[in-house]
Amino acid sequence: MALLEIENLNVTFNTRHGKVTALDSVSMHVNAGETLGVVGESGCGKSITALSVMGLIPMPPGRIAGGEIRLNGENLVTASDARMRQLRGAEVAMIFQEPMTSLNPVFTVGDQIAEAIMLHQNVSADRAFKDAVALLDRVGIPSPDSRARNYPHQLSGGMRQRVMIAMAVSCRPKVLIADEPTTALDVTVQAQIFDLLNEIQRDFGAAIIMITHDMGAISEMADRVAVMYAGRVIEEARADDVLDTPQHPYARGLISCIPALGKDDTELREIPGVVPPLHMLGAGCAFADRCDYAQERCRREKPALVNHGHHPAACHAVEEGRI
Ligand code: SF4
Ligand code: MG
């Protein structure tokens, strides 16, 4: 049994366009000590998947319409709000992409971490603050004693992200979800944060779910990868397999967007076109409008996630050996 298993998760939202399917039979799992990369452009359902695990989908307008999310066998979809409050932070924790909006500007960072500790552990405020300072030290913040007394705006972006990580791991969660944790940071700081997450994982044995639009981050961090497109998982395998032999045209496109190492090629490549809005999804493959391999069948029939030789991919061209 995997530590966290998501099985056939369906999430719908009521919108002004009517009911849309944000997640369509999404399945993925992560084992203890492993990093699962969830990759795709924005609007593919990565963050909705993360929020579902955290029990933070706004309901309404959102609704989990089917499927299970099992943490150590316990189904979180049917867990009570009280149970989810217990689990959140203590067993599953999340690092959000923009620390400035998830840290409270009117409290010092030490107090905020201490607060998170006291929420789940029966310790004094003094003890919690000391633990917070130790955590700031652990995540590589210099002079943690005085930094603990700083407000978020007094820290650099990289330091704020370290504070978020300290807060997220303060109760030693089994599953740590990192949603685009380095998007706002420059490349050097980004690499430092990846190193830190890897170290923390070694120390604590946590499973990490790393959400990103960047295949480069996947190659740095992930053991396995689920590629998402328009609310579905369209390819899933070991990270090496996806990076070396991507199957789905979308996965191939994301990989061709990784800047070539050592090349003085700063031109940012992108896959032409955009993810279709959820209310515009038709009967066929959601990638058809952007796909060089699209044929008539693609517009009619949704491809299933099946292993056609290498590893699971949801594509008719792969199935038919046209690609
Ligand atoms: Fe392209 Fe068709 Fe494969 Fe979709 S199913 S990715 S449209 S070839
Ligand atoms: Mg997102």
Which ligand gives the minimal distance to the CA of 308?
A: 1
Contact 174, 90 (CB under 8 A): no
Whole-number Å distance, alpha carbon 234 to ligand 1 midpoint, is 10
What does the pLDDT average to over 201-207?
A: 91
44-76 pLDDT, tens digit each? 999 999 999 999 999 899 999 999 999 999 999
Taking the CA of residue 126 as centre, how many other CA atoms within 13 Å lie in the half-sphere pointing to its CB? 0
Compute the C-alpha angle 103/213/151, nearest 5°.
15
Which ligand gives the minimal distance to the CA of 47?
A: 2
pLDDT on residue 189: 86
- Residue 267 CA, chain-centre distance (Å), reads 26
Contact 228, 305 (CB under 8 A): no
Query: How far is the C-alpha of 217 from the C-alpha of 209, rounded, in Å?
Result: 12
pLDDT on residue 182: 85
Query: How far is the C-alpha of 25 from the C-alpha of 13, rounded, in Å?
Result: 15
Query: How far is the C-alpha of 85 from the C-alpha of 87, rounded, in Å?
Result: 6
Is the CB of residue 291 below 6 angstroms from any atom belonging to ligand 1? yes
Q: What is the ipTM of this complex?
A: 0.94
Q: Where are the domains of the chain?
A: 4-91+173-240
Is the CB of residue 252 below 6 angstroms from any atom belonging to ligand 1? no
Whose tokens are 């493959």? That residue is: 285
Instruction: Report which of 58, 110, 63, 120 is spatially closest to residue 88, judged by C-alpha positions.
Output: 120
Compute the C-alpha angle 251/257/261, nearest 5°.
120
pLDDT surpassing 70 at residue 229: yes
| Cβ-Cβ contacts under 8 Å for 45 (sequence gap 6 or more) | 11, 22, 23, 26, 228, 230, 231, 232
What does the pLDDT average to over 86-96?
A: 93
Q: Which amino acid is at 94?
A: M
Burial class of residue 24 (count of CB atoms within 10 Å of its CB; 0-12, 13-18, 19+)? buried
Is the CB of residue 316 below 6 angstroms from any atom belonging to ligand 1? yes
Tokens of 52: 């579902």
Is the CB of residue 293 below 6 angstroms from any atom belonging to ligand 1? yes
Other residues' Cβ atoms within 10 Å of the Cβ of residue 64: 19
Contact 193, 220 (CB under 8 A): no
Query: How far is the C-alpha of 267 from the C-alpha of 265, rounded, in Å?
Result: 6
250-287 pLDDT, tens digit each? 999 999 887 765 555 555 567 888 888 888 898 999 99
Other residues' Cβ atoms within 10 Å of the Cβ of residue 222: 25
Other residues' Cβ atoms within 10 Å of the Cβ of residue 307: 12
Is the CB of residue 288 below 6 angstroms from any atom belonging to ligand 1? yes
Whole-number Å distance, alpha carbon 24 to ligand 1 midpoint, is 17
Q: Which helix (H) or strand (E) holds 236?
A: strand 232-238
Q: Under DSSP, is residue 68 helix (H, G, I), strand (E, B) or coil? A: strand
pLDDT on residue 79: 97
pLDDT on residue 272: 87
pLDDT surpassing 70 at residue 107: yes
Contact 135, 113 (CB under 8 A): yes
Is the CB of residue 148 below 6 angstroms from any atom belonging to ligand 1? no
Burial class of residue 132 (count of CB atoms within 10 Å of its CB; 0-12, 13-18, 19+)? buried
Which ligand gives the minimal distance to the CA of 284?
A: 1
Contact 24, 231 (CB under 8 A): yes
Could you tell which of 44, 298, 300 is best to mutate to test the pocket of ligand 1, judged by most ligand atoms within 8 Å of the CB? 298
What does the pLDDT average to over 185-205?
A: 89
Q: Which amino acid is at 43?
A: G
What does the pLDDT average to over 235-241?
A: 97
Q: What is the DSSP string of 5-38?
A: EEEEEEEEEEETTEEEEEEEEEEEEE-TT-EEEE
Whole-number Å distance, alpha carbon 83 to ligand 2 midpoint, is 25
Which atom of ligand 1 approaches the CA of 249 most closely?
6
Nearest CA to ligand 1 atom 3: 315
1-38 pLDDT, tens digit each? 899 999 999 999 999 999 999 999 999 999 999 999 99
Whole-number Å distance, alpha carbon 42 to ligand 2 midpoint, is 6
Is the CB of residue 284 below 6 angstroms from any atom belonging to ligand 1? no
212 confidence band (pLDDT: 50, 70, 90)? very high
Instruction: Give the CATH superfamily of 4-91+173-240.
Output: P-loop containing nucleotide triphosphate hydrolases (3.40.50.300)
Is the CB of residue 251 below 6 angstroms from any atom belonging to ligand 1? no
Instruction: Report which of 317, 308, 316, 305 is spatially closest to residue 227, judged by C-alpha positions.
Output: 305
| Cβ-Cβ contacts under 8 Å for 79 (sequence gap 6 or more) | 55, 87
